[in-house]
Each structure stands twice: as structure tokens, then as C-alpha cells.
Amino acid sequence: MDSAIPPDAIDDESRDTLTGLAGIASASDWLDRNGAKGFVHAMLLGLHRFRSVNLAYGQSAGDIALVELAQRIRIFADEEIGGDTLVARVGGGDFLVASAGKVSRERWQWLAEALARRVSRVLPLRGEELQLAPRIALLRGQPGEGGPALLDRLDQALTTLQQQPARRLQWADGSHLARGRSAARLEADMIGAMARDEIGIVFQPQYAVAGGDIVGVEALARWDHPQLGRIGAETLFALAERGDHVAQVSRHIAGRAMWQAVEWKPVIPLSLNITAEDLGDDRLVEDCRLLLGQTGYPPSSLTVEVTEHALIADFERSAAALEQLARLGVRIALDDFGAGYANFRTLKALPVNTLKLDASLVRDIDRDPRDRAILRAIVAMARALGQKVVVEGIERESQLQVLAAEGCDAFQGFLRSGPIPADQIAALSR
């Protein structure tokens, strides 16, 4: 099959002015062109009763919520689906995700489940906590089926779904949800995969802005399911959450990553992501202490990365857990900074050592003076607080030149390397 039309090829004038995503016209055109080449999978996400948000908080607050949710959906698509993927806002609180890559019907359904999980996380809005209930219609387009026809089928299915409050997903062909592995079967697959050590780890290298040496790695879980294919971290944790296995999966990933990292000589600093469920688990700190003792990995070389989304559910409890981790000598990074609502209270209340700037914040720093000014202000704030600045998503040499000029510490991104296996990290450190 010919390569898909890349989302980056969408004209800026066709983008949604609020979120920066593709608009409905360009989405329809993308579906037309890619559908003519073969199968496309698509899902239409609707925010159930989003109008009530505008009524309760005002349209400006509703717009803030839409921008945040657009970021969540875009990041999810990048992390969990990968290339040949389109993300668009097609009207109001409706978002389209489409892929021209090879994907089974069953996997597309589980991706939709995982996306619903991410979108439904608590969202801070004007001093309150908002939690939206997304509904998702799914389809597999027929060869040659045009964009308008695909969007119409999705819209009809979503309209039907929103009249059934007990359901969250529906296929637009009118069939039931994909048969095959039930949630219980997938849960058993996941537990078995951990027992057989089949959930692998890849590492995203982090490089010094000055000099280019490798200065750290971020551990990322990957599960190559024999039938469903590659399952990323968000989908994996969506499955784990269904069976109350989040802590077990987190411990498995952390342990495997640390056992691999301790073999690298010299030691390379390791970053692990922790979830809201982890922060709410009373065993988090003790589990971390035990893993450090068992593996012999130095606490000062370990960083736990936490997003503000993970903190929202219970900020005080999360802050206390992070303080205890810091007392072990573990470092704390605030992840995806700039993609959410991190504020001075967050930075003051937490023992944050590092700010990790989201890729969306720096995408145009080499092209837009306003974006560069925002970066400069964040770096100045971080310096005043004694924090390092790590930047995600660097893809162009011109972006790296701006990071150097503004005094950022480290970066990660496809300019130098995507996620790679442990043996390649070891080679980089020699």
C-alpha cells in the first residue's frame, strides 16, 4: 500500500483555530485520499453533554477545556498509534482519530477504550475539578469510501450512542463490539505476559543540549501481543485498570527497567513514569525502596516523572508520596509541562527537580518569537527555583539551536533518537 498522506501536510489555513488540530474539511480530504489507497480505521469521540460545561463555566472556560482535551488526544495518538495517524476537531466537542496503518478491529477497539480513559481523567477548571464522559464511535472504512460518507456513518453511530448512557463505545457498522478476547481474557493475557517477562522496555535517550552526550533515558513499556500487535503504555494501563492491576504492572515495568539499567557502566540516569493510581497506592514508597535495594540502582540516578493530571485526583496525598520518594534520594520531574495547567502552587508544593517541557510547547520555537519568549520565561523560572529543564519532541536542528541559546539542559526527540532497546543504550554510553 502507498504511504499515507501525512497529517503535517495539512495546510495551516485548514486547521481548527482553537486547538490547532486539523479541521473537518481537511479531515474529510485526508480520509478521501487515504481511503482510496486501502482500509482506514477511524474513531469519532464526542464529549457527552459538553454544552453543560459552557453553561456552567462560560464559553471561554469551555474553550480552555477543549484545548486541553485536544492535547490529550494528540499525545495519545502519537504515543499509542504512531505514524499514518490523523487527529482532527470536527465540530464542537467532537474529535476524530484516524489511522491508515495496519490495525486489527480488536486492537482499534482497545485503543478507543484507552483513549476514553485518558480523556476522562480529571480536568481542573476555574478552581473546580471537571470529569467528562466521552463516547466513541468506531469504524473500518471500506476501500474507496469517501470522507463525507465515513464521517456521516461515525456521526450517526455517535448520535445513537449518546442516547445510551450505559455504553461508551459502538461500531458504526451497527455490529456489537469486536468479538475475540474479552476483558477477562486480555487481563489473563497481561498477567501471563508479566509472568513470562513478555512486556518489554524500550528507552528514550535524553541528550545534553551542550555537547550532545547522553545524560539519561526514559523507560517506556511495550507489549507485543501475539494477536493484537504492539500495545503501548496507555492501552496497557487501561487494561490493568479494569482488573485493578495498575500497581502490579507499574512494579513490573519499574523492576525490569532498573535491572536493565544497573548493567550500564557508567550508570545512566533512569526516568520512570508513575500514574495517579501509583500515587494513591500506599505501597508505592516501600516498593520503590525494595526495588532500589534489590537492584542496587543508585537512588540519586532515578527520576520519577509525574504529570499534573496524575496529581489532580488527590493533590495532598500525591505531594506527600513524592516527598517520601524524595527522602529516599529519588529525583522528581514534572512531566508534560506546558500541556496542562501546572501553576506556581504545584511547583511550590512539590519537591520538583526537573521540568519536562511538552513537545507542543516548543514545536515552533524556531519559527515563532512568541513561543521562544514563553520558553525563555519558563527557563528563567526554573533557574530561580533550582530546577533543570528537559525538552521533549525535538525534531529539527534549528529547535536545538534555540534550546542552546536559551539555556535548556537536555532534550529528547527524533532529531537524535526514538525509543531504542537496552543493548543500544549500553552501546551509546561507551
For residues 22-35, give the mean pLDDT. 89
What is the residue whose three cell numbers read 459502538?
A: 170
Predicted pLDDT of residue 226: 77
Contact 155, 44 (CB under 8 A): yes
Q: What is the mean pLDDT of residues 187-207?
A: 87
Q: What does the pLDDT look like over 372-388, one tens digit per residue?
A: 999 999 999 999 999 99
Q: How far apart are CA 52 and CA 55, in angstroms?
A: 5
Work out the angle at residue 202's Cα, subtended by the Cα atoms of residues 402 and 411, and round it to the nearest 5 degrees: 10
Q: How far apart are CA 355 and CA 310, in angstroms?
A: 15
Measured between alpha carbons, how far is 221 from 273 in angstroms, rounded to an integer? 10
Using pLDDT thresholds of 50, 70 and 90, give the confidence band for residue 218.
very high
Residue matched to cell numbers 480488536: 106
- How high is the pLDDT of residue 386? 94
Rounded mean pLDDT, 115-139: 84
pLDDT of residue 343: 62
- Extract long-range pairs of 407-412: CB within 8 Å, 24+ residues apart: 407/379, 407/383, 408/209, 408/375, 408/379, 409/208, 409/209, 409/215, 410/206, 410/207, 410/208, 410/209, 410/215, 410/216, 411/206, 411/207, 411/209, 412/204, 412/205, 412/206, 412/207, 412/218
State which H helix or E strand residue 60 sits in: helix 59-76
| 178 vs 375 pLDDT, higher one | 375
User: Cα(247)–Cα(256) distance, rounded to whole angstroms?
Assistant: 14
**pLDDT in the model for residue 2:** 36
Give the other-Cβ count within 10 Å of 225's Cβ. 21
Q: Which one is predicted more confidently, 44 or 247?
A: 44
Cβ-count burial of 423 within 10 angstroms (0-12 exposed, 13-18 middle, 19+ buried)? exposed
Instruction: Specify the pLDDT at position 174.
Output: 55
What local confidence, expressed as pLDDT, does residue 125 receive?
A: 75
Q: Is 335 helix (H, G, I), strand (E, B) or coil?
A: strand
Q: What is the mean pLDDT of residues 184-207?
A: 85
pLDDT digits (tens, 9 = 90+) for 60-105: 888 888 988 998 899 899 888 877 799 999 988 899 999 988 888 8
**Which residues lie below 8 Å from residue 414, measured CB to CB, with a gap of 6+?**
394, 395
The three cell numbers locating residue 358: 511538552
Closest alpha carbon to 143 in 275, 2, 277, 346: 2
Which of 361, 329, 334 minimizes the C-alpha distance to 274? 334
Q: Is residue 407 scored above 90 in pLDDT?
A: yes
Asked if pLDDT for residue 327 goes beyond 60, the answer is yes
End-to-end CA distance of the chain: 40
Residue with cell 473500518: 140
pLDDT the model gives residue 314: 81
Q: Residue 389: which of 407, 368, 416 has the closest Cα?
A: 407
- pLDDT score at 6: 46
| Least confident among 51-55, 394-398, 409-413 | 51-55
Highest mean pLDDT among 31-45, 287-301, 304-318: 287-301
The per-residue DSSP string of 136-158 comes to: EEEEEPPTT--HHHHHHHHHHHH
pTM of the entire predicted model: 0.71
- Which range is least confidently modeled, 109-113, 286-290, 425-429? 425-429
45-68 pLDDT, tens digit per residue, is 998 667 778 777 788 888 888 988
